Structure 1
């Protein structure tokens, strides 16, 4: 993209809707009435967004925002054109998250299940790497029985060296991917550190309940790798978080029981929509109960950065090279599946952004 195009893209500011005014420190980067995005990644002047089908999203599964802030299918229409009955191996069935690696790749996590809580379709659960320079798909890692089981919901991905780590929010556990060999294995299956059940997810003072009317439980969901790559931090959506040294996860000779013994408590964090860790090890996360963005410093101190109703269920923040934090606001708890088939999502859905550092 030419410099002028990049400048114009970053200049896109969509006027806030009357329903969702935002505080002055936040900027509305884009809005949509078709996509319900819960993930964002930024590459220079390009902004990528994605969201799951079960949320009610009718736009692309993965999109690049154009100069007007409108989502265009990425990498192309074919990858975003899956319909029930189609071969799911080379198309997006249900994208849950995005993350960039350190070598110019955008990784897309496809749960492979069109429905929330449903089993992945055969061959559909996968991690797809797109080269950000060429825009072409360079790798598809299909998750087989060594990675996913009945009820799995592959949630997110992080990297260190020759390995990637993924959370399973459906069947509690972690998935370890050897990036060189493509081999996968599961660890911490059913372990307390990856399993929900001790707390409720509360938004606006109400317990979030699943379609069955019971309090919703989301197993291992958010995670981060420390800047030096030594630690993987993780936990169920409701918290708290644990940690384990990545060297134990990377060692295929370690038995499941030996790995379980290496898990330590790390931080008593609340239910969150998503997190991002900066180069200094500060953890930024969305506190669902308080409609807030917070920061956990390396000394354990937690500070509220901003709190506002416009931040209702911020999901998967992204910190770009300019230390701008991007905040997709899908309002997941308001999706129709949680309210008897009637969506309560306030339209349009917004993508917000905010500088993390004070102006100099």
Structure 2
């Protein structure tokens, strides 16, 4: 989810809605407002894909076949992972709204079940280091274990010692396998540990790469060796991790400009989206308040002897990718990028070209994104409608959606053709 120092506490209306925090509607199959029903006749092309541009849709109509997997009331969703067996886990951070529901939950028969346990996922009097405070980005490693970044931040409260951490769980048993408390100097008082990816090809037990998008103006990448817990803050002053002053985006028809000296009017931040190549040999990342995509060899990032200057020199500018928050990679190395400016999700092909996968006015603030073998899942948090960006008025309209769409287009048939 995007970060901003302006994401304050909940207003009265939101607290009332939080009483519905564990009410969730799971929809089986294609919903009435999704999939091909969303497309106008002239907007469809062979193979079930959409044609846009001068000879088709001009970019205003819904595009692409997607399903609403779940509707959420109460807290807004952020991170999402889906196991090979189809279990779905979702994170509900508390840094924008300090809600009383689960911060990490599994979707089970129409309910958000606190996971891995009530004691860890729900608010309690336990020490911040001993419970989940505000789960944000999540991922599965190549062994199928669930990793979550707990940014540790509760709305309206300072960051407590031990609150920001990396957690790893066995999805079968829910057993905690790794807990790495993030500390200074890798962690700053205004850190917003936003998302993470896990590389098991470097380090005896793997290496975790974290984006710190910052609640202030101090973004960076954080590199953590799992075996030792050693953690380093890198590229803290490199352009590839920074929010771009003067960046302008049109969000729900409103032109908005980022000025670091003014209170943000929309979600802003530094290094945010992050994803690995299928072989884990390259890390891709992007600032939220930027249109650029960058990458680095993981062998360099995971090596603690590599200097900051050498890391900076190795950063590769991958070109523009739009206003992306979340990033995800499929098995063919194609990168899926959320786009909060155009209410869509794009796919960056290995040759640098892009495909429009889905576009719909309901795709507001697409956030956490995850690829399975066959589908891409994405949470829609409506974060740009938070009260902190709208003069104290919470303009979000639940339900918040979890959607998915097929990686490969649906085959088209015609009975009149041989």
Q: TM-score, normalised by structure 2?
A: 0.77
- Distance in 2 between the 1:269 and 1:177 partners? 27
From 228, 245, 248, give the equivalent of 1:200: 248
**Structure 1 residues 127-151: Cα deviation after superposition (integer angstroms, max 9, x where no partner):** 1111111112121110011321121
What's the CA shift for 1:86? 4.8
- When residues 354 and 271 of structure 1 are mapped into structure 2, their CA distance, relative to the original with a 3 A threshold, is same
Unaligned runs of 5+ in 1: 1-8
1:80 aligns with 2:124: no
- When residues 226 and 45 of structure 1 are mapped into structure 2, their CA distance, relative to the original with a 3 A threshold, is closer
Aligned counterpart, 1:131 = 170
1:114 aligns with 2:135: no
- When residues 48 and 208 of structure 1 are mapped into structure 2, their CA distance, relative to the original with a 3 A threshold, is farther
- Distance in 2 between the 1:221 and 1:305 partners? 21
1:141 aligns with 2:141: no
- When residues 240 and 142 of structure 1 are mapped into structure 2, their CA distance, relative to the original with a 3 A threshold, is same
1:313 aligns with 2:365: yes
Aligned counterpart, 1:47 = 88
Q: TM-score, normalised by structure 1?
A: 0.88
From 382, 392, 396, give the equivalent of 1:345: 396
Aligned counterpart, 1:190 = 237
1:1-360 equivalent positions in 2, closer than 5 A:
12=28, 25-43=65-83, 44-56=85-97, 57-68=99-110, 70-82=111-123, 86-115=126-155, 119-160=158-199, 161=201, 162-170=206-214, 171-198=218-245, 199-206=247-254, 207=256, 212-213=263-264, 216-237=267-288, 238-321=290-373, 323-360=374-411
Contact 1:55 1:332 in 2 (8 A): no
Higher relative contact order (Cα pairs below 8 Å, separated by 6+ residues): 2
Unaligned runs of 5+ in 2: 1-24, 39-61, 412-418
- Distance in 2 between the 1:342 and 1:215 partners? 13
How many residue pairs get aligned? The number is 346
Give the number of the structure whose alpha-carbon radius of gyration is greater: 2
Contact 2:274 2:286 in 1 (8 A): yes
The two structures, once aligned, show a CA RMSD in angstroms of: 2.6
- Distance in 2 between the 1:216 and 1:99 partners? 23
Contact 1:166 1:175 in 2 (8 A): yes
**Structure 1 residues 189-221: Cα deviation after superposition (integer angstroms, max 9, x where no partner):** 121110002413431132277993556530000
